Amino acid sequence: MEESLIDKKNKVSMKFLQTQSERAFYLDEFKENIALALTEDQLNSGVIYPEILERMKNSDVAYIKMKREIALKFLKPYILEAEKIDLRYTLVDGLNLLGNIGLVVVTKEAFDDNEREIVVKSIEERFEEAGLDPDYVKNIGKKICEKHYSLVENRLPGYEKKFKKLTIFNHLFGESCPICRAEKEKNKKW
């Protein structure tokens, strides 16, 4: 009987320590209240993740938290969106924080499923899973041809906005699709 009480006490202590370390990892929030998260590397890449912006608009979202150590230019798109939709946001100091989480979307109610994916997949992973070449990621923000723009639009809706379409005038002035150029280079090597 005495041993089972000690075991229960140890289990409670371990659960408490696990919860505290989880909170330190998720910007001082409980994991079950986190809808989505981005790592510091994802934020510092300068890529704006549309799934975060969309999730912020849901009525069950209470606020977002971001690490203060991340440059403001990378946090600004999320701050502007939060202000636009009147969503509270907080910058937190990383003194007692663990891990590399840089932004969390916090919900009002806890999730039942604690095994769900919280950290958004990197843009490189998304393009790879969609069967799109890494050259797409290297050319974000650039003008691409209609064919490649449509591929992104069909396979990764929302991400096509990260590119611009080449126009007939661009072609007249000698501009070409960087992805087409990369494909030609790869074909030359074979």
CA distance linking residue 190 with residue 177, whole number of Å: 21
Q: Is the pLDDT of residue 19 over 80?
A: no
Tell me the sheet residues that pair with 38: 103
End-to-end CA distance of the chain: 73
Q: Are 68 and 94 in contact (CB under 8 A)?
A: yes
Model pLDDT, residue 137: 87
Region 83-112: what's the mean pLDDT?
89
- Count the neighbouring beta carbons within 10 Å of the beta carbon of residue 189: 5
Summarize the confidence of residues 152-170 as an average pLDDT. 89
Asked if 105 and 31 count as a contact pair (C-beta separation under 8 A), the reply is: no
Among 21-35, 58-72, 85-99, the least confident range = 21-35
Query: 164-184: per-residue pLDDT in tens?
Result: 999 888 888 889 999 999 888
Nearest to 33 by CA among 87, 119, 106, 103: 106
- Cα–Cα distance list, 93 to 5, 33, 143 (Å): 39, 20, 38
Q: Enumerate domains of the chain plus CATH numbers.
A: 2-107 (3.30.1330.30), 123-189 (no CATH)
